[in-house]
Amino acid sequence: MTAGSGHRPFIEMRAVTRVYGRGQAAMQALRGVDLTVERGDFVAVMGASGSGKSTCLNILGCLDTPTAGTYHFQGVDVGRLSRNQRALLRRHYLGFVFQGYNLLDRTSALENVELPLIYRGMAANHRRSRARRALAAVGLAGWEKHTPAELSGGQQQRVAIARAIVTDPEVLLADEPTGNLDSARSREIIALLANLNGERGQTIVMVTHESEMAAFAGRSVLFRDGLVAGETRGGKGG
């Protein structure tokens, strides 16, 4: 993507509001959020249920659009993009990891990781080599032929992370990535994300309600009642 004139942060939200519904039924999820993310950041977005953190992540991921305010991605005003252009931005620049692993049940780990590359029309041999590299990057070399039913929850989330990074996304967006895992597996997954950030320079924005997980991030942004209530910087490693 080509940036506009002058320096802008890698990601920048300014005075972003999001209102659902109308009139008496209107619910204001975001009330004027300012947020910047620089390339290579690992940002944890925290807050109670209903604080607006997932709405913020959905806007960053082009899964939702602001009611008012601006969202710039690499200098491009996302609000001026068409629905199709936003879909292309999502496909080519963003990777997603969710609380539920969203894997295809009867499909091998390798084939699950290949899926985003199939959508791009990549040749099968290139797809497979990239998918193998992505699985190796998350510690699953040798598990390529296993289906989700043959993998633990932590391994399934590793497959989901491999699928998210196989396209070399500019930003990895993770929504409660440890929410379905026990504490030991949670620490493994968060350490993996921290390693992707530290070793590969992967930019990560992660929604979490667990302070122990947020401690691995370089920055924590606290949401309260649809606003950014505070921000802390921390060392990576919990």
Q: Give the mean pLDDT of 64-90.
A: 94
What are the sequence ranges of the domains in the chain? 11-233
Q: What is the pLDDT of residues 181-214, one digit of tens each?
A: 999 999 999 999 999 999 999 999 999 988 999 9
Estimate to the nearest angstrom the gap between the alpha carbon of 69 and the chain centroid.
21
pLDDT band at residue 4 under the 50/70/90 scheme: very low
Report the alpha-carbon distance of residue 188 to residue 162 in Å, rounded.
14
pTM of the predicted model, to two decimals? 0.92
154's tokens: 């932590």
Sequence-ordered alpha helix ranges (H) in 61-182: 83-93, 109-119, 124-137, 153-165
pLDDT at residue 24 is higher than 60:
yes
Q: Give the mean pLDDT of 58-83.
A: 95
Pairing of strands 27-37, 94-97: unpaired
The reported pLDDT for the residue numbered 119 is: 86
Helix (H) or strand (E) holding 54: helix 53-60
Domain 11-233 - what CATH class? alpha beta
pLDDT at residue 113 is higher than 50:
yes
pLDDT band at residue 235 under the 50/70/90 scheme: low
Q: Give the mean pLDDT of 93-116.
A: 95
